[in-house]
Amino acid sequence: TNGKGRGVVCDTGMQTRIGRIAQLIAGDSGAQKKKCGCLPDTSANATPLQKNLDALGGRIGMIAIIICVGIFIVGVAMNRTDPATGSPAWLYMILIAV
């Protein structure tokens, strides 16, 4: 159905209730610190779940790096070369490990 309505704007931007909540989250100064230049640094307000996920991501990353290095070392020790081109073992194993 169709109807007519009228909207009245009382406040905009940071003067709205949502804007006030954003200021409270940002801190007393109202300006958010930038961590990498593009995203605000919210590490001080991280929930326990966010902290655990951050730690899990770090562990998964370290395990992946260790596995890649292990594959590289084993492949170079076994002198695995590229069957198609016969490139050196270290070069081929970088390709395989990554």
pLDDT tens for each residue of 48-96: 888 899 999 999 999 999 999 999 999 889 988 888 888 888 888 888 8
Q: What is the pTM of this model?
A: 0.54
pLDDT at residue 40 greater than cutoff 80: no
Phi-psi region of 78 (alpha: psi -120 to 50; beta: other; left: phi over 0): alpha
* Rounded-to-integer distance, Cα 30 and Cα 47, Å: 21
Could you tell me if 41 and 34 are in contact, meaning their C-beta atoms sit under 8 angstroms apart?
A: yes
* Rounded-to-integer distance, Cα 47 and Cα 88, Å: 49
Nearest 5°: the CA angle 36, 24, 22 is 65
pLDDT band at 39 (very low <50, low <70, confident <90, very high): low
* Rounded-to-integer distance, Cα 71 and Cα 94, Å: 9
Number of H helices, E strands in the chain: 3, 0
Looking at every residue in the chain, the average pLDDT score rounds to 82
